[in-house]
């Protein structure tokens, strides 16, 4: 197992559109295991392969308190099941230290493949629904900061660019 390096906003590689997985082989399974280790270490509740600079349609999620509900999403798709929206404060491992409210549909149906490459479906609500939509955005090169005002996004960009300059100077 290995901890992977997480790309941070405004890294342009986060804008890459991920490619579908053709076969769930050992290489993909190792990547999934490393993504879980990286997410739990952070700690976080969701991580997309895009964030670790692998541009394949793979997401890992665990919204439980005790790492007991790992969810693997390969080639995920969702449909919105309600007009109702949820406003939730979102964060992101690729936007460390910043949290903003985002509006999203609060009930969706997910279709994906699991770690064994088998198809499954589930209906998700509230935090899980929000988390799935947030992570699927990553696979399409989108970030939660794209859902907030330009002013807020630009402030976050400036602060993170400063942090990255400091980190580079210390390296
Ligand atoms: C996406 O985000 C999410 O800023 C997953 O310093 C978040 O796991 C969906 C994290 C909230 C819905 C609601 C963020 C860790 C983790 C940080 C995460 C940080 C350390 C974010
Ligand atoms: Co994120």
Closest ligand 1 atom number to CA of residue 46: 5
141 Rama sector, left if φ>0, alpha if ψ -120 to 50, beta otherwise: left
Distance of CA 114 to the CA centre of its chain: 16
Ligand nearest to the CA of 90: 1
Q: What is the mean pLDDT, run by run of 10 residues, along the chain of 171 residues?
A: 97 98 98 98 98 99 97 98 95 98 98 98 98 98 98 98 97 84
pTM: 0.98
Q: Is 39 helix (H, G, I), strand (E, B) or coil?
A: helix
Q: Is 90 in the pocket of ligand 1 (CB under 6 A)?
A: yes
């Amino acid at each position: 197992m290995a901890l992977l390096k997480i790309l941070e906003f405004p890294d342009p590689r986060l804008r890459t559109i991920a490619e579908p997985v053709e076969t769930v082989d050992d290489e993909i399974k190792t990547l999934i295991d490393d993504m879980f280790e990286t997410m739990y270490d952070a700690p976080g509740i969701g991580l997309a392969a895009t964030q670790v600079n692998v541009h394949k349609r793979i997401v890992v999620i665990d919204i439980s308190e005790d790492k007991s509900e790992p969810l693997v999403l390969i080639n995920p798709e969702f449909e919105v099941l309600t007009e109702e929206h949820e406003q939730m404060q979102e964060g992101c491992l690729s936007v460390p230290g910043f949290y903003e409210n985002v509006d999203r549909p609060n009930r969706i149906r997910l279709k994906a493949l699991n770690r064994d490459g088998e198809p499954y479906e589930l209906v998700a609500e509230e935090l899980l629904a929000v988390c799935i939509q947030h992570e699927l955005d990553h696979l399409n090169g989108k970030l939660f900061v794209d859902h907030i005002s330009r002013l807020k996004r630009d402030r976050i960009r400036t602060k993170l660019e400063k942090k990255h300059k400091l980190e580079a100077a210390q390296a």
